[in-house]
C-alpha cells in the first residue's frame, strides 16, 4: 500500500473532500487524525475508516485557534508517535458582493482558510524536522488563480495558500519536507450544492469545465494520496489543478 504505516492529519475531514481524503488514505494504509469542528461528522468519518479496517482518531478542532491546533498535533503524537503527512483541507466560503462583505465574514474566511494553514504548518513542521522528512498538502482552489464574483475573501485566501505553499516548499526542501497544494475545480460537496442546484449557475459551471462532468471528492482524494506518497518525492512547490480542464482554457 502506498501510505503503509504513515501517520496523517486531515483537517476539515468531517465531510466532502476531507472525508474522501481520509478514506482514500486509510485504504492506502495510513493511520489518521480526523480534525474538524463538527463532532458528529468527524466521528462518522472515523467510524467509516475504522469499519473498513483502518485506524483513525477524531480531534475536535477549530483550525483558526492555536490551542486547538496544538491539541490536534499532540493527540496525533500521543496516539501514533509521529506526524508524516499534514493535509490542510479545512475551508469555508461566504458569498456577497465585495462592497457588501462584512469585516466579520472577511475575518472568518481568512482565519479558517489561510491562518489555519499557517497555524497547522507552524505546529507540525518542527515534528517533521525532527523526523527528517514530511509531506504537507494544502488545499487551494482554482479561485486562487482566477477570479469569481461574490467570493472576494475566498479568492484572496486561496491565492494566499498558493503563495504560502511555494514559500514553504523552498524553505524546507533541504530537510526533505515537501509542500504542495491542490487547486480543485467544481467538486460536488455541500459547499457547491446550492450553485449546482441552480440551473443558470450549473450551466455556467458546466460550460466552463471542459470535462463532461462535475468533480467528485474522490478525484481530489486520489491526487492527495499521490502527493502524500513516495511517488511524489521530487514534486515540490507545485499547484496541482484537479479541475476537469478549467484552467487550461
Bridge partners of 242? Answer: 184
Q: 154, 172, 211, 226: which one is catalytic?
A: 154
Q: What is the 3-state secondary structure (H, E, C) of 185-221?
A: CCECCCCCHHHHHCHHHHHHHHHHCCCCCCECHHHHH
CA dihedral sign, ordered 9, 42, 21, 242: negative
Contacts with 209 (C-beta within 8 Å, 6 or more apart), sequence order: 185, 186, 243, 244, 245, 246
154 is catalytic: yes
- Residues labelled as active-site residues: 154
Amino acid at each position: 500500500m502506498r501510505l503503509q504505516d504513515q501517520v496523517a492529519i486531515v483537517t476539515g475531514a468531517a465531510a466532502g473532500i476531507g472525508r474522501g481524503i481520509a478514506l482514500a488514505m486509510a485504504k492506502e494504509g495510513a493511520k489518521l487524525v480526523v480534525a474538524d469542528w463538527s463532532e458528529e461528522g468527524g466521528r462518522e468519518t472515523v467510524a467509516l475508516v475504522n469499519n473498513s479496517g483502518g485506524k483513525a482518531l477524531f480531534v475536535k478542532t477549530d483550525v483558526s485557534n492555536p490551542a486547538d491546533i496544538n491539541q490536534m498535533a499532540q493527540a496525533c503524537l500521543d496516539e501514533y508517535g509521529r506526524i508524516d503527512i499534514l493535509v490542510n483541507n479545512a475551508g469555508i466560503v461566504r458569498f456577497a458582493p465585495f462592497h457588501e462583505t462584512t469585516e466579520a465574514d472577511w475575518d472568518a474566511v481568512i482565519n479558517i482558510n489561510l491562518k489555519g494553514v499557517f497555524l497547522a504548518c507552524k505546529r507540525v513542521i518542527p515534528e517533521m524536522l525532527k523526523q527528517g522528512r514530511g509531506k504537507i498538502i494544502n488545499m487551494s482552489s482554482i479561485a486562487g488563480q482566477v477570479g469569481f464574483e461574490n467570493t472576494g475573501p475566498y479568492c484572496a485566501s486561496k491565492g494566499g495558500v498558493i503563495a504560502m505553499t511555494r514559500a514553504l516548499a523552498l524553505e524546507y526542501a533541504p530537510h526533505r519536507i515537501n509542500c504542495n497544494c491542490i487547486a480543485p475545480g467544481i467538486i460536488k460537496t455541500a459547499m457547491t450544492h446550492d450553485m449546482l442546484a441552480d440551473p443558470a449557475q450549473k450551466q455556467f459551471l458546466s460550460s466552463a469545465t471542459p470535462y463532461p462532468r462535475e468533480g467528485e471528492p474522490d478525484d481530489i482524494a486520489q491526487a492527495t494520496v499521490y502527493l502524500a506518497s513516495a511517488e511524489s518525492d521530487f514534486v515540490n512547490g507545485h499547484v496541482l489543478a484537479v479541475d476537469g480542464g478549467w484552467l487550461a482554457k
